[in-house]
Structure 1
Amino acid sequence: MGTFQGRHALIFAAAPETEYGYIRSFLAEYPDAVIACADGGLRHARALGLRADFMVSDCDSFSETEASEVLRLKPEKDDTDTQSCLREVFRRGCREATLVCATGGRIDHMLANLSLLEEAYALGGQLTVLDRQNKVVLHQGGHQKFKMTGNYSYFSIVPLDSVLTGVSIENAKYPLDHVTVTRSGMITISNEALGSVFSIDIAEGRALVVFSRD
């Protein structure tokens, strides 16, 4: 059982995906990334010519030789395969992970994958959910600075709690100064940074920060 201390993990979920350009760009930046696959996510790694460092699976769909290590799960379980995969990479020493092939297909799977942003934080790590058009990270409250990278045009704040208090946005086209943001009637969608760096303060509550391009 290998350890991945200090390495960035790339986790493949099993949502439908055929456009892999954004994953290739990630791998160019992190050539030493740990490759972890959640069951059917292995087909995406295969398509990119990658051999998984490990995969978690609750079925016998794949050969043991297609990954360096296969962790077998019982089909009757509470956790999703992707959730188990995330926990395993952090258990083995990773503190940063990027989840791909996680947003297409079933909406329940997409929402469950987005919820892993909070779980990663609870495990002492940081998760980014990435697809060809979006990057999603967690704002856990307090003051956070963000960079507009990857040719993203917009950023949005999507509350995870029903109410966010003390929300301030600086260096953006639509700034805010200590306002309350609610999930109903959100006022924090499709903002634009005025430079390469902007900041978001949230006095109380957690939110998703979504970077998007058209």
Structure 2
Amino acid sequence: MQNRVYVLLNSPNVPSVEGDVICADAGIKFADGKKQKIVAVLGDFDSFDGRCEFETVRFPSHKNMSDGVICADYAAEKGYGEIVFCGVTGGRFDHQLSNLSLLKYARQKGVKAFGYDVEDGKALYIYFAAEPISIDVKAGDIVSVMPFDSVTVDGADNLEYPLDNLTITSSDLSRGLSNIALSDGKVSLNVVKGEAFVFRYAL
């Protein structure tokens, strides 16, 4: 099994990365062939004409999956053990919601995944959690927990506001907003029921 691959989505929030890269359609705009190994460019090419020096695979424009899903499937088939989706946020809001679901989709394919974006010059990391999870943080980082539908967290380490036997639902998302990492190291969330996205805004 190979290690990590970056999937570049078509978003202004794609960061600069180094390593193996799969581009989702016009995500090729954000690729740098000098720093990256461009494995393939995949999609229906509705936002990119498909002409480039790298391997391209064109899919029908009438399809029942996004270009991001196509890239996740391709990465899993190639044996990558971890996918970093870049450009999850930014662009059309419905696309952002669809991009978030890629983290759960990859997990169901047996591949680790997280999101990595840059917003206003600052790094944003996004994780999918359906069980206890630990993430790297620096003191002062903002950590938000957003349920997929509902999620129960019973305990958290290294956060300013306690999350003890707290159930957050989609009708009250504010309960999980804007917690703060107390020190450099790890934030651990004891997810005991349900599923959530965990956002880390690095300061």
Shorter-chain-normalised TM-score: which range? 0.7 to 0.9
Secondary structure of the 1:111 match is helix
**Counterpart residue number, 2:164:** 177
Structure 1 length-normalised TM: 0.82
Summarize the alignment of residues 55-70 of structure 1 with structure 2, pairs less than 5 Å apart.
Answer: 55-59=41-45, 61-63=49-51, 65-67=52-54, 69-70=55-56
**Counterpart residue number, 1:121:** 107
Instruction: Decide which structure has greater helix share.
Output: 1
For residues 162-214 of structure 1, what are the alpha-carbon distances to aligned partners after superposition, in whole Å with 9 as ceiling and x for unaligned? Answer: x2235322221111222222222231211112221121012110000000146
Q: Alpha-carbon deviation of 1:51?
A: 5.5
Percentage of pairs with the same residue? 26
CA distance in 1, matches of 2:191, 2:103: 17
RMSD: 2.2
Q: What 5-or-longer segments of structure 2 have no aligned partner?
A: none
Structure 2 length-normalised TM: 0.86
Runs of 4+ in 1 over 4 A off after TM superposition: 46-51
CA distance in 1, matches of 2:97, 2:37: 27
Summarize the alignment of residues 1-214 of structure 1 with structure 2, pairs less than 5 Å apart.
Answer: 5-17=1-13, 22-23=15-16, 26-27=17-18, 33-46=19-32, 50=36, 52-59=38-45, 61-63=49-51, 65-67=52-54, 69-133=55-119, 134-141=124-131, 143-148=132-137, 153-161=141-149, 163-185=150-172, 186-195=174-183, 196-213=185-202
For residues 22-45 of structure 1, what are the alpha-carbon distances to aligned partners after superposition, in whole Å with 9 as ceiling and x for unaligned? Answer: 42xx42xxxxx3210111111111
Q: What 5-or-longer segments of structure 1 have no aligned partner?
A: 28-32
CA contact (8 A) 2:82 2:111 kept: yes
Paired residue total? 195
Secondary structure of the 2:95 match is helix
Q: Which range moved further: 167-176 or 37-46?
A: 167-176
CA distance in 1, matches of 2:61, 2:106: 23
CA contact (8 A) 2:9 2:27 kept: yes
CA distance in 1, matches of 2:60, 2:31: 23
Secondary structure of the 1:15 match is coil
